[in-house]
Each structure stands twice: as structure tokens, then as C-alpha cells.
């Protein structure tokens, strides 16, 4: 049985755009088989042994096996009409949900895993950044994250030092805001919404919500799929697959401050699903 916090969360189960209308579909959430149907007019239903609550938000169908205690986190930029916004991919990965989220929050792998795109040697240093865990908003926030990127996005012609903000507003979902090459006052928004299929298997749904007036949807999707395709074999070679919450279980360095805060936040929430709780 998943812990109560996990049971009562909203979880993403599919992108609306990838779901045929009116035909029941199957998926698995928290080891539980689920049937769901997308009806017309932005309405969906879902059931396991009984009917489940359903929400459609950010182009995805969300459900819960318990009673969601809070509304889903807000992404105000999603409402901005000039953004390109869609599901870039839903990818199965043999890893726990928190390992997938932690990878999304990590800058120091860019030069080694996303070589020539999001990073390149010798630009490997992770400069000091700020991390806070907001009790009021119940989220982990990393700001002033800066990294040199050879190809920051599909809208970029050249490399640039890019500034990131990372937000973790949900134990299995994270959102990043990175400098836009189109408008210096705005940021591209990319979200990873992880569906825990089991404690060690996920479907990772990737939302793009970006400023790009020159690339077609396929190009933007291909860029994200390339990047995530580079992460997948790394994630699937991580052991243990569940995220260890004991701070001594692995060897964090200063660059990992956001991961340390994330692990602490999960522990404080009493999450045991997909993690190895500290003794």
C-alpha cells in the first residue's frame, strides 16, 4: 500500500492529445490497474474498482486513488496565449518517480549526458545557487541557477549562459523556468509530471510551454525527446532504483543542494513509496 500522502495526490495518467476520444484506455498507477476515458468537451472519467476523481489540467488527465486534499499546483504561464504548449512525450522508464524528478532538477549532468546541447566540457562548474523550501507554498524552489549551454532550445542559434529556476510543487512533478532566447523578460517553462506505475517504474510526461516562433511542433518535440532519450539509460542504470532518503546513503556535493532539499521535503511529508526511508 502506498503511503497516505502519495495515495491522496493527483497523479498524471495520460496526455489528452495522445488519447483517443470516447474509447476506454488502460494504464497502471501505484500498482493499480486503471481504466479511463476521454470524452469530448474536455471531460474524462476514470475507475479502478470504483470511480475515481478526475481533473484535466495542462493538457493531461489526472486522477487520484485517494481523496486529494489540495488542488493541483498552478502554472500561470500555461494560460499565456503566445506560448507553444503540448505534451512533448510520455516515456516509460524503469526507475522510481523521485529518481526521475531528481534528474530533472540536476544541472551538473548537462555536459556529460546532454553533450553539445545542454552542456559541454569544459563548462562543468555548477555555480552557487539558492534553495528554499517554502512551507507556505509547500514546494522546493531553486533560484539563480546558471549554466552554459551550447544549444539551449530549438529557438537558439548559439550557446549562452542560461538562467534556470526549478520548482518542485508536487512530490512527483517538477517545473523549470529557463531564460528565453526570444524575450529576455520571459522564460520557457518545461514540466515533468511523473506517473508512478510502481515503486520502480514510471511514465514520465513532459510538458513544454515555450516561446518559439520559428520551430514546428515536431521539432520542439524532437528536441525534448532527444534530451530525455539521453537521460533514460542513465536513470535505468541507477541503483538502488528507489531514492534513498538517508543523507549518508550517497555522496552529495554543493551542486546537489536542491536534491538534498528535495529528499528532506519528501521525508518530511512521510513519503515511503518509491523511496528508501531513512532508518
Residues that bind other proteins (CB under 8 A): 108-109, 111-113, 121-122, 124-126, 233-234, 237-240, 250-255
> Which residue is associated with the grid cell 500522502?
5
Give CA–CA dist 15/61, Å, rounded.
6
Q: CB-wise, 105 or 140, nearer to other proteins?
A: 105
Q: CB-wise, 111 or 169, nearer to other proteins?
A: 111
Q: CB-wise, 214 or 248, nearer to other proteins?
A: 248
Least distance in Å: CB of 178 to other proteins? 18
Least distance in Å: CB of 70 to other proteins? 30
Q: CB-wise, 34 or 117, nearer to other proteins?
A: 117
Enumerate the β-bridge partners of residue 167. Answer: 141, 175
Q: CB-wise, 86 or 110, nearer to other proteins?
A: 110
Least distance in Å: CB of 95 to other proteins? 11
Least distance in Å: CB of 41 to other proteins? 44
- The answer to whether 167 and 145 have CB atoms below 8 angstroms apart is no
Least distance in Å: CB of 12 to other proteins? 25
CA 252 to each of CA 45, 224, 238: distance values in angstroms, whole numbers, following the listed order: 42, 27, 15
Least distance in Å: CB of 168 to other proteins? 17
- Give every CB contact of residue 115 below 8 A, 6+ residues apart in sequence: 121
Residues 122-126: contacts with CB within 8 Å, 24+ apart? 123/147, 123/148, 126/254, 126/255
Cβ burial of 200 (10 Å; 0-12, 13-18, 19+) is: middle
Q: CB-wise, 80 or 128, nearer to other proteins?
A: 128
Give CA–CA dist 145/225, Å, rounded.
23
Amino acid at each position: 500500500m502506498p503511503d497516505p500522502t502519495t495515495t491522496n495526490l493527483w497523479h498524471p495518467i495520460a496526455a489528452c492529445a495522445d488519447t483517443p476520444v470516447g474509447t476506454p484506455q488502460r494504464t497502471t498507477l501505484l500498482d493499480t490497474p486503471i481504466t479511463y476515458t476521454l470524452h469530448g468537451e474536455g471531460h474524462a472519467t476514470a475507475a479502478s474498482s470504483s470511480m475515481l476523481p478526475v481533473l484535466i489540467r495542462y493538457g493531461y488527465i489526472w486522477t487520484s486513488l485517494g481523496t486529494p486534499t489540495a488542488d493541483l499546483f498552478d502554472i500561470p504561464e500555461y494560460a499565456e496565449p503566445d506560448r507553444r504548449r503540448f505534451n512533448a512525450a510520455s516515456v516509460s522508464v524503469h526507475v522510481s518517480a523521485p529518481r526521475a524528478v531528481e534528474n530533472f532538477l540536476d544541472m551538473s549532468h548537462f555536459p556529460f549526458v546532454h553533450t553539445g546541447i545542454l552542456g559541454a566540457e569544459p563548462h562543468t562548474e555548477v555555480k552557487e545557487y539558492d534553495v528554499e523550501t517554502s512551507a507556505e507554498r509547500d514546494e522546493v524552489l531553486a533560484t539563480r541557477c546558471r549554466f552554459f549551454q551550447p544549444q539551449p532550445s530549438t529557438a537558439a542559434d548559439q550557446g549562452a549562459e542560461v538562467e534556470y529556476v526549478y520548482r518542485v510543487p508536487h512530490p512527483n512533478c517538477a517545473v523549470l523556468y529557463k531564460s528565453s532566447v526570444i524575450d529576455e523578460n520571459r522564460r520557457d517553462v518545461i514540466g515533468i509530471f511523473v506517473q508512478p506505475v510502481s515503486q520502480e517504474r514510471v511514465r514520465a510526461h513532459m510538458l513544454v510551454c515555450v516561446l518559439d516562433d520559428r520551430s514546428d511542433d515536431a521539432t520542439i518535440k524532437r528536441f525534448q525527446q532527444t534530451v530525455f532519450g539521453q537521460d533514460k539509460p542513465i536513470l535505468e542504470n541507477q541503483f538502488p532504483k528507489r531514492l534513498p532518503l538517508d543523507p549518508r546513503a550517497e555522496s552529495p556535493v554543493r551542486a546537489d543542494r536542491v536534491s538534498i532539499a528535495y529528499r528532506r521535503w519528501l521525508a518530511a511529508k512521510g513519503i515511503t513509496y518509491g523511496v528508501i526511508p531513512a532508518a
